[in-house]
Chains A and B, each alone.
Chain A
Amino acid sequence: MEYPGLATIQHSPLILSSSLEIEKLIVHEFAHQYFYGAIANNETYEGWFDEGMASYLTSSMLDVNALSDVSSFKLFGQFPIRGLEILSMGEIPLIYTLIKIKIPNQANAMRSYYLHANEAALSDSSYLLSSLSMYNAITYGKSELFFKTLERITGKQKFIKTLSKFYNQYKNSHVTAKQFFTFLQANTARNLSWYIKNYYDESFVCDYAIKSIEYLPASKECRVDVRRNGEAFFPCEISLITQKDTITKTINNDKRFFTIYLKSPEVPIGVEIDLHRKNYFDVNLANNSKMLRKQYAATTYFSMRWFFWIQNLLLVFGSLA
């Protein structure tokens, strides 16, 4: 919890040495000394601004230092164990795996956002958000993704520089989101109005999908059908992946369905939208790509794991019989 010049944190007595739980808390609360402390905002209406900024700065700091948390779960609600819990009954993990899984720094924000993705906008007054879960999803989750995606659109260095300028100009004063957007637009060459409209004003969901691809050997082109499933618009970076090269084309098209032709000197492997995952709002990454050939590696691997977990679970239940 943040206070002017002071922060308090709480954590459980048992914590994994590889966990970044405490570090993340400290950085988050420290960031609040800048956004909330030095630059204040009305948290009743725009709680997302300082919380989102503190969360964004925390995950950015981890990204800069190439740090990421490792997944863990708690046995009986208290003993941390490295791995991934799939199914539990109360405090007892029933299906879990002890493999080391790196959690991307924005994963928690995404998980929280997905719970209420199309239910509220960042522009909604914080105190009107109907549940704690929704409050967390918007104030912490969506806001972090908003700043992170903004950083990817404008460029990391540029965005950090703009933030620094914003801080110097507005420190020891109150700001509103509108002031921030105006300042941002004034300091950025790109037009950001589409972004603010789609991801701040509205509770639109973003989901781009490759519906089909077809290689046309005669013209050495690849026909790609793209569909925008969600209401939100985002400029599409469509990459054609071949054995030797990756050809990327940016499409600024807000149509729900469109077809593009990409020149391909050889038979491509597949096509992917947002190859480098710039857009943190896309709610379905699986349909962002389409390969020409069917692939079963992940399906087999995951199904086999699941099969083994179920076998073990049946043995656990069987031993109770």
Chain B
Amino acid sequence: MIKEIKQTLLYSARFTYQNKMLVFLYWATNLGFALVLTFPLFTLLKEELQYSAINSHFAAEFDFLWYIQFLTHHDTMVNVIPGLVISIALLYNLIQLFYTGGFLAIAAHPQKNHIVDFFFGGVRYFYRFVAVYLVTILLYFVIISINSLLVGIGNRLFADSQSTLPEFFFHFARYTLFLFWIVVVNVVADYSKVAIASKDESNLIRAAVKAFLFVKDNFALTISIFLILASFVSAAALAYNFVDGFIPKDSWYLIIATFFIQQMLIIFRLIIRMQFYASEYYIYNDLTAEPVRAYFEEINKDV
């Protein structure tokens, strides 16, 4: 399995590198959406702070008292933010689905590797990917609901407990299970898309069943690849936080330097996201390939 993991990571890294221009497309989309969601806050902060001494305090230290006052004064906006972010994220996800279709279309025809294939694939698989996405959302909703139900059960069970440890272990088991199912649904949804793109599967249920069975049969490999790539992201995030902690924020140059480091992390995450799909496509195609049968024909030497 180690050899397979190595090969998969190598292939996916190579494939991502060959399609590096796509990273800019992903990045530009991400930047655009983030700008839309940042602009209202920027305007609000500008109005509130442009003449305030809080600005100079901020350079020295995060003003926590101002922060809680800001949240209180703008609680209407603060309460709207999660809904706004989720609505925009849904739109963002639809564009991501389009990109994923394009990316997998390129993966299906690496010899062509044409920008037209990318957009053609995006359109071609879009409807099917959206259907998979909706089912995935539904499954997430079911997992979250079961988790909430377990929270309530746990709280009732341990309401009169004299020790906090049993409650701790109960909740620990609960969210381990919660995370496990989130990862499983995520991986199966990814492989469903790969199955659709790889074999041009038009029957969504068949694609989902195939993906599920594939993940089940190759559970260790698929989850290992998932976790390895996810750990790259975690390592990069930790490295960013470590570096960020050492950068003072009291000069414009250093604020800009921080921005560059942040964008490097975002680009790295986007590369890893591409690598996710590339690795999944590689594993799926490799392990579901039809064996080529050797064909023997007896030759009558006497003739």
Contacts and interface: CB of A to CB of B under 8 A. Distances in A.
A314 B92 contact: yes
A13 B172 CA distance: 12
Interface in B35-64: 35, 37-38, 41-42, 45-46, 48-59, 61-64
Interface residues of A, number: 65
Given A294-B50, A295-B55, A318-B93, A91 B68 contact: no
A12 B163 CA distance: 10
A114 B68 CA distance: 9
Contacts of A91: 151, 175
Nearest to B72: A114
Interface string A1-31: 0000000001111100000000000000000
Nearest to A11: B164
Contact of A304 (B57, B93, B164, B259): B259
Interface in B245-280: 245, 249, 252, 255, 258-259, 262, 266, 269-270, 273, 276
A272 B53 contact: yes
Interface string B82-103: 1001100110111011001000
Nearest to A289: B53
Contact of A289 (B54, B96, B168): B54
Given A98-B241, A297-B55, A76 B175 contact: yes
B148 interface: yes
Interface stretch (A99-107, A184-192, A218-226): A99-107
Contact of B49 (A115, A286, A317): A286
B11 interface: no
A103 B64 contact: yes
B31 interface: yes
B164 A13 contact: yes
Interface residues of B, number: 74
Contacts of A66: none
B34 A310 contact: yes
Contacts of A297: 55-56, 58-59, 252, 255
A67 interface: no
A90 B46 contact: no
B52 A286 contact: yes
A127 B54 CA distance: 39
Contacts of B140: 320
B69 A286 contact: yes
A298 B89 contact: no
Contact of A298 (B59, B147, B151): B59
A243 interface: no
A228 B65 CA distance: 20
Contacts of A300: 255
B85 A310 contact: yes
Given A285-B54, A304-B258, A321-B97, A315 B273 contact: yes
Contact of B54 (A78, A89, A99, A286): A286
Nearest to B251: A297
B244 interface: yes
Interface string B173-214: 001000000000010000000000000000000000000000
Interface in B207-223: none
A299 B171 contact: no
A285 B93 contact: no
Interface of A: 10-14, 71, 76-78, 84, 87, 89-91, 94, 98-104, 107, 110-111, 114-115, 241, 270, 272, 277, 283-291, 294-304, 306-308, 310-315, 317-321
In the A-B complex, the 5 residue pairs with the smallest Cβ-Cβ separation, listed nearest first, are: A289-B53, A298-B58, A321-B93, A295-B55, A317-B89
Given A107-B64, A306-B38, A321-B133, 11 more contacts: A78-B175, A87-B82, A89-B82, A90-B147, A99-B244, A107-B65, A289-B53, A304-B262, A307-B38, A314-B34, A317-B86
22 contacts: A11-B164, A12-B164, A90-B147, A102-B62, A107-B68, A285-B66, A285-B69, A286-B48, A294-B50, A295-B49, A298-B58, A299-B50, A299-B55, A306-B42, A307-B35, A307-B38, A308-B262, A312-B269, A317-B90, A317-B92, A318-B89, A318-B92
